[in-house]
Amino acid sequence: MIIEQLDEKFTLHRLWEQSDPEAYLDAIAPRIRGLANGGHHVINAALLDRLPALEIISCFGVGYDHVDAAYAGEKGVIVTNTPDVLTDEVADAAVGLLIATLRQFPQADRFVREGKWRQGAFPLTASLRERTIGMVGLGRIGLAIAHRLEAFGVRVIYHSRTPKHGVGYTHYPSLIDMASDADVLIVTTPGGAGTQHLIDAQVLEALGPQGVLINIARGSVVDEPALIDALQNRTILTAGLDVFEDEPNVPQALTDMDHAVLLPHVGSGSVHTRNAMGQLVIDNLTSWFSNKGPLTPVVETPYPSKND
Ligand code: NAP
C-alpha cells in the first residue's frame, strides 16, 4: 500500500530490488530528489555526497540514529521521521515486556508446551508490586509508559539531561543515583553517539541484584557485554530486551539464558501502527514536493531553517 502510493505520486526507483544496487545508484544518483528510508538503512556522509539533487530523506520510524542528520542539515537536506503515531504502540509493548519479564510469561508458556506442568506447578516469580520504576528518558514514549504505569500503582522517577516541565515525577540529574533508587530501569532514549553505552556496568551495579532492565530504545544504549555479565553473575535479576547492539544477531550468551525475555524489535510492530508510520513517510514527501514544507522534520534539520 505504501509502495503503491509512492509509485502513484512519484517516479519511484526501487533500489532494494536491484541485483547491483551500487551501479544502479551511480546511474540514477544525479536525479534523486527524495529518499524514503524504510528500516534502518545507513545514510552516511558518503551516500549524501553521492546525491547532489537530494532535498529530503523521509525516514520510517522515530529513531534516526542510522542517518547522519547533522551532515544532511549542513547540506540543506531535510530529514523527517515518524513521531507520535507510534508512541502508544511502543508504550503498550514496553509495559507488556515489563510484566512478561517480571512474571516470566514466555517461560511459563514454554513450561506448558513442554508438558512440565504435569510434573508440578510453575515456580513463583518476581512481581511489579512495590517497585520503583526509573525511566531513562521521559520524551514521547517514556511519558506514555509512565502514564500507563500510574494505573499500576507503582512509583515513577526519571533521568534525562533536562527536567521535564509539568510532570510530577522526581527528576534525577544523575543516572547512577536514579539506578540506586530504582528497582526497574526502562530505557527510552534515542540511540546514537550521545547515548552510547549509557547503561554500563556501573549503572547495572547500582540497579542491584533485584533490579530489572527493560530496553525498548536502541541496543547501542546498553553495554551488551556488561549486561550479559550482570545477568550471568545475577548481579541484576532479569532483563526484557526489544533491541540489541547488532540486530538481528543476538549474542548466544543471551539466547542461552532462560531468565531474560528477548523480542525481535517489535515495539511498533502492529499492522495498524506500521501503516500509520508508512503514511507519514509518504505525507512528508508529498507535502515537501507540493512546496508546503515537511510535516515532521527532525531537530537537526529545522524548517524553516535558521537561515531562512
Ligand atoms: P523523544 O521524545 O525525543 O524522547 C527522548 C528522551 O530521551 C527525552 O526525554 C530526552 O531528554 C532523553 N535523552 C536524550 N538523550 C539523553 C541522554 N544522553 N541522557 C539521558 N536522557 C536522554 O523520543 P521518543 O519519541 O520518546 O523515542 C525515543 C526512542 O525510542 C527513539 O529515538 C527510538 O530509538 C526508540 N524507539 C524504539 C522503538 C522500538 O520498536 N523498540 C520504536 C520507536 C522508538 P533530554 O533531551 O532532556 O535528555
Strands (E), 71-166: 78-80, 132-136, 155-159
Once rounded to an integer, what is the mean pLDDT over residues 235-258? Answer: 98
56 in a structural domain: yes
Residue pLDDT, tens place only, 64-121? 999 999 999 999 999 999 999 999 999 999 999 999 999 999 999 999 999 999 999 9
Residue pair 281/82 in contact by the 8 Å Cβ criterion: yes
Do 245 and 275 belong to one domain?
no
Complete edge-to-edge strand list for the sheet that includes strand 56-59:
34-37, 56-59, 78-80
Strands (E), the chain: 34-37, 56-59, 78-80, 132-136, 155-159, 170-171, 184-187, 212-215, 238-241, 260-262
127 in a structural domain: yes
Strands (E), 76-218: 78-80, 132-136, 155-159, 170-171, 184-187, 212-215
Say yes or no to pLDDT of 306 above 80: no
Residue pair 63/241 in contact by the 8 Å Cβ criterion: no
Do 281 and 182 belong to one domain?
no
Q: Which atom of ligand 1 is nearest to the CA of 269?
A: 40
> What pLDDT score does 305 carry?
81
pLDDT category at 187 given cuts 50, 70, 90 is very high
209 in a structural domain: yes
Provide the greatest CA pair distance for the chain.
72
* Domain count within the chain: 2
**Which CATH number does the domain housing residue 107 bear?**
3.40.50.720
Say yes or no to pLDDT of 124 above 80: yes
Structural domain of 101: 87-262
Question: Of 231, 209, 202, 198, nearest to 65 (Cα)?
Answer: 198
Say yes or no to pLDDT of 39 above 90: no
Do 38 and 161 belong to one domain?
no
Do 196 and 247 belong to one domain?
yes
Do 125 and 251 belong to one domain?
yes
298 in a structural domain: no
Do 129 and 181 belong to one domain?
yes
295 in a structural domain: no
Once rounded to an integer, what is the mean pLDDT over residues 235-252? Answer: 98
Do 163 and 234 belong to one domain?
yes
Q: Which atom of ligand 1 is nearest to the CA of 242?
A: 41
> What pLDDT score does 148 carry?
98
Do 70 and 193 belong to one domain?
no
Say yes or no to pLDDT of 12 above 90: yes
Q: Rounded to whole angstroms, how far apart are CA atoms 220 and 254?
A: 16
Q: Is 218 a catalytic residue?
A: yes
Do 121 and 136 belong to one domain?
yes
> What pLDDT score does 40 carry?
80
Say yes or no to pLDDT of 307 above 80: no
> What pLDDT score does 188 carry?
98
Residue pLDDT, tens place only, 195-224? 999 999 999 999 999 999 999 999 999 999
307 in a structural domain: no
Question: Of 189, 179, 290, nearest to 236 (Cα)?
Answer: 179
Q: Rounded to whole angstroms, how far apart are CA atoms 57 and 216?
A: 24
The residue whose C-alpha atom lies closest to atom 33 belonging to ligand 1 is 63
Q: What angle do CA 69, 70, 72 make, to 5 degrees?
A: 60
pLDDT category at 290 given cuts 50, 70, 90 is very high
**61 grid coordinates:** 520510524
The residue whose C-alpha atom lies closest to atom 38 belonging to ligand 1 is 267
Do 47 and 139 belong to one domain?
no
Instruction: Give residues (CB < 6 A) around ligand 1.
Output: 62-63, 83, 86, 90, 137-142, 159-162, 188-191, 194-195, 198, 216-218, 242-243, 265, 267-268
283 in a structural domain: yes
| C-alpha of residue 120 to centroid of ligand 1, in Å | 43
pLDDT category at 275 given cuts 50, 70, 90 is very high
Once rounded to an integer, what is the mean pLDDT over residues 252-275? Answer: 98
> What pLDDT score does 11 carry?
97
Q: Rounded to whole angstroms, how far apart are CA atoms 98 and 86?
A: 18
302 in a structural domain: no
Q: Is 247 a catalytic residue?
A: yes
Do 112 and 246 belong to one domain?
yes
Do 167 and 207 belong to one domain?
yes
**229 grid coordinates:** 555479565
pLDDT category at 21 given cuts 50, 70, 90 is very high
Residue with cell 553473575: 233
pLDDT category at 2 given cuts 50, 70, 90 is confident
